[in-house]
Structure 1
Amino acid sequence: MPAKRTITLLLLASLAVGQMLWAAEPPADCGERRKELGERLTEARLQGDKVRLSTLEEHLQMLNKDCRGLVPLQSNQADVGRANQLTSEREARLREALGAGDRQDIDLRRKQLDQARRALEAAKH
Structure 2
Amino acid sequence: MNLRPQYHLRPSPQGLLAWDVRKLIALAAQQQIQPRWVALSDITELDQRYWFSEPGDEPTPRAIAEHLKLVEAADTAYPILLDAEGRLMDGMHRAVKRLVQGHTDIWALQLHSTPAPDFVGADPENLPYDD
Same fold, TM-score > 0.5, yes or no: no
Report which of the two structures shows the higher radius of gyration computed on alpha carbons.
Answer: 1
User: Structure 2 length as normaliser, TM-score?
Assistant: 0.24
User: Structure 1 length as normaliser, TM-score?
Assistant: 0.25
Higher relative contact order (CA 8 A, sep 6+): 2
